[in-house]
Chain A
Amino acid sequence: MQGNRELWSSIAHGMAEDPSRATRDAAYLATLLEEAQARGEGRFPPGYQYAGAHHFLAVADDLEVQSLDNKDLPITSTGSRPIPIKIPFDCLIQGVFGWAFPIFNGAGQESAFNVLAAEQVLSNASDYRDLFSVAWLLDGDPHFVGNGEESLMAPASAVIGSRNSPRSMAWTLRRGQIISVLFRNITNVPVPALTVFPYPKLRATVAFQALNLGPP
């Protein structure tokens, strides 16, 4: 169907640029559009221009740091299991954003002041997005976040938007497709030999904004 759109657009722009083509191609384009309408291509979901009503969330609770010295676990990968999102209806993914909350629970926590101070200074990105890395696969296909050949995880601050400014996307997904979201707690990257208190666990979330493309 996308090819049809491009053909229609190409013809129409050609007509707009050349009056002789406008008179010659008008009937042809009208026929193409009528045929498309007869095939049902005109049954677009109403209200598509509005903000998505749905959020599909992948939530990783109690996400712990992983060793940076493990040669079998490069910094661009994770030992955590992917969090799946099974798409419940045909939808248009319009945006993606994420956030994390550091959780300081371990022994050695000196005071509430230290916790507050750590929360303030550990992160240098909005919504703590630099404390976790992320990647995702669609139906197992790893080519959406990576180097073109394999999936590579990257800090969420460079992959997804914040709650205030989601990253714009436009994927049409069908019911039953699966987005698998990978997470890694990387609070140990800027402080690799932290001994003064335990690394915080994270509650990290990636949210996809979605518009239902099903019949109203």
Chain B
Amino acid sequence: MSSPTTIQQAVSLAQRMAGDPSAAVALASQLADLIDRLPPPAGELLSRPVFERATLYTEVLSFENIKPGSLSPIQSIRCQRDLWIRGVSAQAYPSLTAPSAEALFAKLLILNAFSRTSNGRSLFEVNWRLEGTQGFISKGVEGEILAPAATVTSNGFFHAPLDWQLQTNDTIQVRIRNAARDLFPATLPDEIFSDAELTLRWIVVTFWAEEPRTQPSVRR
């Protein structure tokens, strides 16, 4: 691992460049790289987008009691500040009941086995729009679709990366569809899981966000 960059190194390089025009041209990229890799000073509460995948904010969308096959109402988040959305995670819960511990364990085992993914993300599909504009989850020219949450969201363990720079008052709109019934083969008797049990009691989609890095123009 290389040693941390210091401002002394940047000063030395800049001084050398200032005294030699040919060095100024040759070393400009190196100086820019040095400055970008300077470590953070201690100071105010501050989020630093130069840290890979570092995030400060968690924007939360919460859905409740979505019946099997049903679409949720659209939920919106209006950005209270400029945000750099870096990733998305999700979690969903069914509403199981059982007359005995053994029956409950069996239902949970069956559900987990058919789900095949963590966080209950197989139980729903999801779509999002930015500023009311669709097309971020689509089949190309055929337009907007809902995608399995297991494929487009993360479980908090790994990161489903996004890279959206949003401005204050921009909106993210999310809707979901309960796809729990789709997990099971048609031959599986409906009475194993009633519609009430496959109603998704709570679904949460979280966008992990950073403060965007601004690059002011130089005016002299």
Contact = CB atoms under 8 A, between A and B. Distances in A.
Interface of A: 1-3, 5-16, 19, 22-23, 26-30, 33-34, 36-37, 41-49, 68, 75-76, 90, 92, 110, 114, 117-118, 121-122, 124-126, 129-130, 135, 138, 143-149, 152-162, 164-165, 167-174, 177, 186, 189-194, 196-197, 213-214
Contact of B1 (A23, A49, A122, A157): A49
A153 B97 CA distance: 25
Given A37-B7, A161-B156, 12 more contacts: A12-B32, A19-B25, A29-B17, A124-B119, A145-B60, A149-B80, A154-B58, A165-B158, A171-B45, A190-B94, A190-B95, A191-B95
Contacts of A194: 104
Which 5 residue pairs across A and B have the least CB separation, nearest first?
A30-B14, A12-B32, A42-B7, A170-B54, A121-B108
A138 B217 contact: no
Nearest to A151: B60
Nearest to A169: B54
Contacts of A186: 93, 202
A121 B14 contact: no
Q: Counting chain A CB atoms within 10 Å of each CB, which of B28, B43, B44, B97 scores highest? A: B28
A172 B77 contact: no
Contact of B118 (A19, A41, A126, A214): A126
Interface of B: 1, 4, 6-8, 10-11, 14-15, 17-18, 21, 24-25, 28-29, 31-32, 35-36, 38-48, 51-62, 64, 77-80, 89-91, 93-101, 103-105, 108-109, 112, 115, 118-120, 155-158, 201-202, 204-206, 208, 213-218, 220
B211 to A, nearest CB: 10
Given A30-B17, A154-B62, A158-B89, A148 B79 contact: yes
B165 to A, nearest CB: 15
Q: Counting chain B CB atoms within 10 Å of each CB, which of A37, A45, A172, A173 scores highest? A: A172
Nearest to A47: B4
Nearest to A38: B11
A22 B29 CA distance: 10
A18 B206 CA distance: 42
A42 B41 CA distance: 8
Contact of B58 (A2, A45, A145): A145
B14 A147 contact: no
A156 to B, nearest CB: 8
A124 B55 contact: no
A169 B60 contact: no
Contact of B155 (A117, A118, A157, A164): A157
Given A16-B28, A154-B60, A110 B101 contact: yes
Contact of B6 (A42, A149, A189): A42
